[in-house]
A and B are shown apart, each in its own frame.
Chain A
Amino acid sequence: MEIYVQLAWNILTLGALFGLMAASFSVIFSVTGVVHVAHGGVIMAAGYIFYSFVELGVPALAAATAGIFAAGTLGVILNILVYEPLRRRRRVGTGMMIASVALLIILQNTLLAVWSSQTRTIDLPFLHLPPYSVWGALVSPLSVLIFVTSTIMFLGIFWLMHKTRLGKAMRAVSDQEDVAEVVGINARRVRQITFFVGSVVAGVAGILAAMLYNLDPSRTVTYAVDAFSYAIVGGIGSIPGALFGTYLLTTLSTLGGFYGATAIKSVFAFLAAFVILLVRPEGLLGKKRL
């Protein structure tokens, strides 16, 4: 019995963490149309900056703020330097995607050059606290933090998209950019803000992930691919879809791992995304196609 509580909690927290990555990737795609593979680099950059500040003795909360803000800024810079110029040159299809893959490689290797390939571990007293025991399952304080933070972030994204003027503008640009421009929405500015918001959410996920796993530049590609697969399965461009896709695949891979098929785990996520792209390119809950 305890083992099932444990599994459920693991799925809940992992899904929340990767759901953040997938949802922020999805928001950016839905509003700007950019298949932002380099998102993985933004996620990791936040983690590394957080790590460096923690090492310098900066309080954890301040270090996290710095990492999150750096991620947001990085996202905006990438948009200004690469995606907007490509858009002006009307190269929004394959060219944009290759550019994003190139950016991912550049970010990954910059992290490698600055922080080396050595594995970095975040060392905070908070991470050494003993886990709580809930119905026989071990619940670490970190997993509670991950779950609570992610839930707040999801509610925040939902509030932003559906209850604010900015969110309305974002949805308008997502639906029909030209029409949005006609009614006086500055689409370029909306895209800029979207990149900031999406990258901030990615930064939060990156910092949580840095505490849960360790930091290692090769994770850049892993996170990019994970966020992309989950978003595709759920329906790229839809936030509930991103969450749904993440939980679906996390559940399947966690159960797969539990029943001894760890090797199947990574193959399975790719295969699921692949098959869904093939038979239903808009994903399970999505409306937009890649």
Chain B
Amino acid sequence: MEAYVIHVVTLAAIFLIATLAFNLQTGWAGMLSLGHAAMMGVGGYTLALLLRHTDAPYFIALLAGVCLAGALSAGFSVLSRKITSHTYSVLTLWFGFVIAAVLMNWRELTRGALGIPGIARPAGFAEEFPFLLLVLTITTLVYLVVDRLTRSPWGRALGAMRDDEVAATTLGKNVVAMKITVSAIAGGIAGLSGALLASFLRFIDPGTFGLPLLVLLLVFLVVGGLASLPGTVLGVVSLLAVREGLRFLPFSPELVGAFREIVFAGALLLVILYRPKGLLGKVELE
């Protein structure tokens, strides 16, 4: 029982890291990146592959995952700087598909559908409880950083950009630079979360970072509420509790899995239809 609780809390903390970054980019900057799960994949695979094929120390591999995910995300923003927000979302979804297809098909490097087993945890944190403490520390740091960013003048400028891009430009804000910076930060934090997830699960395959993960993050974000960090915490914690509760339904595992996905996607649908601000959100999904 104790082991199970530790397992769920670690998972919640890792998902919280990703969802905080998701909210920074979507809630404050108004850029819904549907490639967020894929960015986690970039972080996770970078860590796993570096640990497997080189002697890189753990935290260097972790940092490499963060940097690569951040750089890809930022590079993507540079490419799509002239595109409207709706097309940006579609494009990021496609970007995610491209990454998933590469992970699946570049077998020499990623072993494709076989996945990568035996991913290490940092020395001294290999046991479940110390690893949880490490993850909780990182999650708290990420929360404080994101919170600080959103309260800074830069964070307010992000909000202005989300509400009216032209107005923000006339006030002398460099909208393109803000978009690139916020993408880099959000992508990097997603990579961090993905790398921790890889270490935590000890095994990843392309499916780990696929559409179900994206939907999970979307549900956390939208139910918790856009542009509210306490909302994100509440969303992740409450929904993960529901998700774990559904595990104990007296059906076959396959049926429970299907039912769980239906409940989550259904919750997402209901929130979009009837309560677009989510639980504690400050802005609506357009």
Q: List the interface of chain A (C-beta within 8 A of B).
A: 35, 82, 85-86, 89, 91, 93-95, 97-99, 101-103, 105-106, 108-110, 112-113, 116-117, 221, 225, 229, 263-264, 266-267, 270-271, 273-274, 277-278, 281, 289-290
Known A-B contacts A105-B211, A281-B87, A290-B86; the reply to A112 vs B272 at CB < 8 A is no
Check A85–B266 contact: CB distance below 8 A. no
The answer for the CA separation of A270 and B83 in the assembled complex, in Å, is 19
Known A-B contacts A102-B266, A105-B261; the reply to A89 vs B97 at CB < 8 A is no
With A270-B98, A274-B91, A277-B91 given, name 10 new contacts (CB 8 A): A91-B272, A95-B285, A97-B86, A97-B89, A101-B218, A106-B265, A106-B266, A113-B262, A274-B94, A281-B83
A-chain residues with CB within 8 Å of residue B286 when the two chains form the complex: 91, 93-95
Check A221–B211 contact: CB distance below 8 A. yes
Q: Which of B91, B269, B276 sits near A82, CB closer than 8 Å? A: B269
Q: Which of B83, B105, B215 sits near A263, CB closer than 8 Å? A: B105
Q: Which of A91, A221, A266 sits near B101, CB closer than 8 Å? A: A266
The answer for the CA separation of A267 and B103 in the assembled complex, in Å, is 10
A-chain residues with CB within 8 Å of residue B123 when the two chains form the complex: none
Q: How many pairs of residues, A versus B, come closer than 8 Å at their CB atoms?
A: 120
A-chain residues with CB within 8 Å of residue B254 when the two chains form the complex: 112, 116-117
Check B86–A263 contact: CB distance below 8 A. no
The answer for the CA separation of A215 and B48 in the assembled complex, in Å, is 34
Quick check: is B171 within 8 A (CB to CB) of the other chain?
A: no
The answer for the CA separation of A90 and B257 in the assembled complex, in Å, is 33
Check B258–A277 contact: CB distance below 8 A. no
Quick check: is B246 within 8 A (CB to CB) of the other chain?
A: no
The answer for the CA separation of A89 and B270 in the assembled complex, in Å, is 13
Task: Across the interface, name the chain A residue whose C-beta is closest to B90.
Answer: A290
The answer for the CA separation of A222 and B265 in the assembled complex, in Å, is 18
Interface hub of B32, B95, B97, B215 (most chain A Cβ within 10 A): B97
B-chain residues with CB within 8 Å of residue A99 when the two chains form the complex: 268-269, 272-273
Known A-B contacts A113-B255, A263-B105, A270-B101; the reply to A98 vs B87 at CB < 8 A is no
Q: Which of A35, A112, A263 sits near B258, CB closer than 8 Å? A: A112
Known A-B contacts A102-B265, A102-B268, A266-B104; the reply to A278 vs B91 at CB < 8 A is yes
Task: Across the interface, name the chain A residue whose C-beta is closest to B89.
Answer: A94
Known A-B contacts A91-B285, A271-B98; the reply to A98 vs B272 at CB < 8 A is yes
A-chain residues with CB within 8 Å of residue B268 when the two chains form the complex: 98-99, 102
A-chain residues with CB within 8 Å of residue B80 when the two chains form the complex: 278
7 contacts between A and B (CB under 8 A): A94-B85, A103-B269, A106-B266, A263-B106, A266-B104, A278-B83, A278-B91
